[in-house]
Structure 1
């Protein structure tokens, strides 16, 4: 199993000091995240896949509710994966969307990806760990509109490409506890 980043929502003090994150670095990271969102919204999935590292781990786990008394004891309900994908699995999902035979994407969903509250949490060599909030609005059929809102933690690696970064790991957490959408056929 792939390495696990332990906290999706790190405490505020866990962020890298503001002095270590230059405005230029912050800008470059945000521009990469905005490019990624635009490619997904424009259904340019192959170009998005080019931004993904070969050793990607792309994870969405269930969100759980824990009673205050259980949290104090350090007890958490078990979490399970909604998806835990590698680059091969992401490529297969994109290939399926390209066939026009994916019933959940006929007609194709329109999406809008929003990214905010981007914080650099860790700087290690050519890699950065970034925390941000996201909202993905999906509109498919006449009455099939869903919002996916949550927080995520991304590990980015600096590379010599026009984008400047590649996505190495993404851990997503949904704010909702019950998934009301019939499927998650889009890329969050």
Structure 2
């Protein structure tokens, strides 16, 4: 099972089936906020739905196609983060994340995204890390900016979000750039 300690407050850990209820409760408590930016929220209506999601993340990890972890802050599940996809042939990882609204503003996600970027370059030997965020999701877009990712462009109508399309902004970091920033 994957477990990565970022610092004394934050741990990333692969969720297990037994975590389905806690994950569902976290999603349910932040449902209105998360729904503004994430297309899967309406599809997660029960703990069984969360369990199916966890099972999918375990299969994705076993296939080496992605890594989705729970974010534990001071021992409590507060969100999810990881690599939505891993392309080892091209050495690219796509970071995705979400955090319950009540835990925002504490620097948690910046530390998580920094750790995932570092892990991608030094443990997974990737060459590129990408983060995409909805154009209007300014809080999410601040994460890659803080970490000196390069804003590479905007993808028009990149994602269907319930009843409308949203544009995405693409941020990229290369291993060579990361070494120069560190």
User: TM-score of the superposition, structure 1-length normalised?
Assistant: 0.32
Which of structures 1 and 2 has the bigger CA Rg? Answer: 1
TM-score, normalised with respect to structure 2: 0.32
| Structure richer in helix, relative to its length | 2
Bigger RCO of structures 1 and 2 (CA < 8 A, at least 6 apart): 1
